[in-house]
Each structure stands twice: as C-alpha cells, then as structure tokens.
C-alpha cells in the first residue's frame, strides 16, 4: 500500500526526490497520528512552513489544497507541517530532524522512505492556532492599475484604494 501511494505521489509531483519523501512521510504520520483520511472540505487543515516538493505529497495524500483553503502556507523556511482536525481540535506538528543521511540524492530519498516517522520528525504540538476557515471577499478595483483584488489585500494610499502590487512599501528600517 505504501509503495503504491509513493508511486502515485511521484506521478502527481512529476519526479521522485528527497523533498517529496519528506512530505510523504509527514502526511502519512499525521494521518495516522490524527486518525484521519483525506479531506473532503476543511475538516483537516495543514499549515506548511515551506513551499518545497514535500507540499505536493501532503496535497496528494491529505487532499488539503490552497484553493479549498485548508492548505495554508506560512513562510518560515522550515521542513515543518502542522495538521489540525476541526471536528475534535486534535493537532500535530512534524518538524524534520537533522539526520546523517547519504549524500547521494537517490540513496537519501530511499533512506528517508525507510525511516520510521518518529526517527525522521520531532513530533509535537503546533505553536500557533488552527487557522480560521477560508473566507470569500468582495473584489475591489485598484484605483491605480484598474485590476480587481480581494478587499482584504487592498490598502489606502494617498486617499486611493490600491492593491498590494501598486502600493508603495513603507518601512522605517525595522
């Protein structure tokens, strides 16, 4: 079964790689830890702290997607994944451990796939709350470029409604 799922993930992603193996192992561990299957809607939420190959395995195995609003990208640059169940509040955070693995890419990938998740990840609780459910926002037309954007992303600048692409960033150096 695991081998079949791996092949399906590779097909979905486009190639086999160590990064995909990380997400594959994380998703399987989370599903087992939380006692869940694939998400039909937003009953399962994944917060990924990276935008690397492993996220494709998480998408494939859990059916958490950005479009459904139950795959949330939190840019921290970590090989970390937090999973939340909306129905009972259960959650788990998996953070890849620094391991002494083979340098060769293919060997490293196979070594990762052979690991027990407890050996590959630090398993604990998320240090941030369950994200709110996805919301629909009105589209507002940017008064600078004329393109529509969700009102949550619009800003006021010089009395005009502008999108994040058109607004001038303001920073005082911190």
The whole-model pTM stands at 0.88
Q: What is the pairing mode between strands 91-96 and 121-124? A: antiparallel
Structure tokens at 14: 């486009």
Nearest-Å Rg of the Cα atoms of the chain is 19
For residue 70, give the nearest of 90, 57, 85 by alpha carbon. Answer: 85
Q: What is the pLDDT of residue 134?
A: 87
C-alpha count within 13 angstroms, C-beta hemisphere, residue 137: 12
* pLDDT for position 41: 87
Q: Beta-carbon neighbour count of residue 125 at 10 Å?
A: 9
Tell me the two tokens of residue 9: 């993930």
How much is the pLDDT for 98?
A: 95
Domains for the chain: give ranges and CATH numbers. Answer: 2-124 (3.30.1330.130), 135-174 (3.30.60)
H-helix or E-strand containing 29? helix 18-34
Q: Are 12 and 6 in contact (CB under 8 A)?
A: no
H/E stretch holding 71:
strand 71-73
Residue 173: per-residue pLDDT = 76
Q: Could you tell me how far CA 3 lies from the centroid of its own chain?
A: 23
As averages over each run of 10 residues, the pLDDT of the chain (174 residues) reads 95 98 98 90 95 98 95 97 96 97 97 96 97 93 97 95 93 78
């Amino acid at each position: 079964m695991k081998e079949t799922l791996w092949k399906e993930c590779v097909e979905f992603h486009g190639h086999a790689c160590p990064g995909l193996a990380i997400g594959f192992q994380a998703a399987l561990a989370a599903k087992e830890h939380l006692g869940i299957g694939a998400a039909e809607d937003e009953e399962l939420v994944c917060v990924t702290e990276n935008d690397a190959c492993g996220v494709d395995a998480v998408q494939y195995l859990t059916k958490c997607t950005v479009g459904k609003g139950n795959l949330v990208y939190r840019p921290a640059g970590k090989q970390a994944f937090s999973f939340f169940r909306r129905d009972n509040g259960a959650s788990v955070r998996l953070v890849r451990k620094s391991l002494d693995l083979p340098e060769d890419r293919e060997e490293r990938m196979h070594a990762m796939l052979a690991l027990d998740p407890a050996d590959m990840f630090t398993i604990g609780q998320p240090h941030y709350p369950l994200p709110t459910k996805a919301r629909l926002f009105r589209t507002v037309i940017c008064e600078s470029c004329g393109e529509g954007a969700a009102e949550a992303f619009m800003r006021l600048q010089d009395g005009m409604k502008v999108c994040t692409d058109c607004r001038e960033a303001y920073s005082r150096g911190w």
